[in-house]
Every structure is written in structure tokens, then in C-alpha cells.
Amino acid sequence: MKNSKKYGLDYLREQKGYLLYLLIYVFLLFVWWLCDLPWQPMAYLFLLLTVFASIQLLYGLRGYIRRRELLAMYTRQAAEGVFAAEEEKEGLEGDWYRLVKAWHEEYERQKEQNQEEKEQSGKYYTLWSHQIKTPIAAMNLLLQEEEPDLKSLKQELWKAEQYVDMALQYQRLDRSGRDLVLKEYPLETLIKKAVKNMASVFIYNKTGLQIEAMPENVLTDEKWFLFVLEQVLGNAVKYTAGRENGKIRIYSGRTDKGETVIVEDNGIGIRREDIPRVFEWGYTGYNGRREKRSTGIGLFLCRQVMDMLGQSIEIESEEGKGTRVILGVSRKKFDME
């Protein structure tokens, strides 16, 4: 009742149509006076106009209160995150219904997406906390030796740093691309920078490296592209380590999508049935589980980053013979934009 009274006062304050009736009354009085007409018919006309205006005002007030109550209900539902309105198929109420329904559907979509991301993040950091314990435990054991193996210590430290870097990039990953700083870089310079960051890993694992001529420039984000390169090179070293004449080759190529950079190794390879799923979150594959070297996160992040950069990443492999990771570096998409 209190709200209805308030809505009624608001409605009267918002109404401007009654001014028209006042003007009509003044105009009719003026005409009647000029023509010196009898006042009794004028009184009947005024009464008729007043009744008509009152009916119109009350009818409008009813609709106005209905709309305000409906809006108040939608506002409460918005605050509670629910939607239980009955559809109004016509008029302003119908427009409001469709607006709130669209909002609610988007709200539910976002809520579900946020819940999935929260659950995924929880699983990732649980896995990450277990994985990073391995290099930490290894370093602890090495430090207990009378003469610690510094080379092995550096390798375990590199593994720990890689896990930390992966966690930071996972947290920063923004698929909208707002974190990107796109510039032109000499592609060969970026590759050499990634290799330099991992030089001790190549030396320790006695892995050969061959870098062939590259396209001159690439339009990319240095931080994110280096992250992908180092992840791919790290995988290549892990699955080539211990194999006789282990070697990694980096060279350029071209597909129907444009220029590419290919990182090829002669490691243990990937089973054919595992290849379609290697970019899935948490998927390690048979060889990754057997060797106990895979987290199932690295390639997932690489795919997300390359999508954010507007580029492609593909894998070709044969078990026992090696793997080729093909990274798109085409400028075609950006040139079109």
C-alpha cells in the first residue's frame, strides 16, 4: 500500500498531459465568452472532459503502478540472481521481460563460466603444488651431499623456475588480448633469446641444436611468444633427453595459413591416439604418464596463448621417431585488420 501511494505521487509528478486539458478549458472558456453562449452547455462539456480525463488518468496510473511493481520485482530478482517472471508478450512490460531474461541468461552463463574457471584453477594449483615439490625435494637431497652436483642443482632450479613461470602466466592469461603489446621483432632474435634462456638445459642433457634461417620479422608479443617457445623447447628437451644423438632442429616453413616456425626433435614421440588431445587441460598422454615428466598444462597454455596472439599451433608426431611443433607466425590476420 505504501509503495502504491508513492508510485501514485510519482505518476502525478511525471504527468504533463493534464496541462493540455487546462489549455482546452481556457480556450473553450474564451470562445464561449466571445460568442456570449449560454453557460449550462459549457458546464456539461467541462464535466464530460473532466470525467474523460479522470478515467484516462486512473487507467494510466494503474498501468504505471503495474510497471513500477514489475520493475521492483526484477530489481529484487537481479540482486538475488534469480529469474521467475511471467512473460509479458506485448508492450513495455514485454520489453522489460525480454531485457531481464537476456540479462539473466548472460548472468547464468558468466556464473557457470566463472565456476568452471574456479574449479579448473583449483585443480591446476593442486597439481602445480605437487609438481613443484619434485624439483624442490631433488635440490634438498643434492644439497645434503658433501659435494653437491651443481649442474644437477641448476637443472632442478630450472624446473622449479619453469613451474613458477607457468603458474604466473596461467594467472595472467587473458583471452581478450588486453595484456598484449604487439610489436615487430626479428624472429631469429626471439628464437636465440629463448635458446639462451635454456642454454644450461641443452648442455646438461647433451641435446644438439640446429637453428636454420628464419623469416626476417614477426608481429607478436615478445613475453608471450617467448613463453610458448620455451615451453615447446622444454618439452623437446625432456622427451629427447637420454636418447642417443638427441637433437632439436628449429626451422621455418609455410602452410596454407602462412609462415610458420617448426621445432622438431627426434625424441620418444607421441602415440597417434594421443595427438588430438595433447592441447586439452590436464591431458598427459601415454608417454607423458610413462615418463612421469608431463603436467598436462604446458601445451594447454601454449594453445591459449597462440589463440590470443591470433596464431596457430599444431603437432605432428610419430611414436619412437620424434615430434614436430608448428607455430604460426603469419602477419595475414593483422594486415587484414
The pTM (predicted TM-score) of the whole model is: 0.63
Q: In terms of Cα–Cα distance, which of 258, 244, 185 is closest to 218?
A: 185
Homologous superfamily (CATH) for 173-336: Histidine kinase-like ATPase, C-terminal domain (3.30.565.10)
CB distance 295 to 131 below 8 Å: yes
What is the per-residue pLDDT across 251-291, written as a single tens digit (0 to 9) for each?
A: 988 887 788 999 999 988 888 888 888 888 766 654 444 44
Residue 63 confidence (pLDDT) above 70: yes
Of residues 237 and 13, more confidently modeled: 237
Of residues 63 and 251, more confidently modeled: 251
What is the per-residue pLDDT across 168-219, written as a single tens digit (0 to 9) for each?
A: 877 777 655 666 788 899 999 999 999 998 888 888 888 899 998 887 788 8
Give the contacts of 218 (CB within 8 A, at least 6 positions apart).
Answer: 184, 185, 186, 187, 190, 225, 259, 329, 331
User: Would you list the DSSP string of 243-277?
Assistant: STT-EEEEEEEEETTEEEEEEEE-SS---TTTGGG
Give the contacts of 121 (CB within 8 A, at least 6 positions apart).
Answer: 170
Mean pLDDT of the chain: 79
What is the percentage of the chain residues whose pLDDT exceeds 90? 13
Pick left, alpha or beta for residue 164 (phi over 0 → left; psi -120 to 50 → alpha; otherwise beta).
Answer: alpha
Q: What letter does residue 87 receive in the DSSP assignment?
A: P
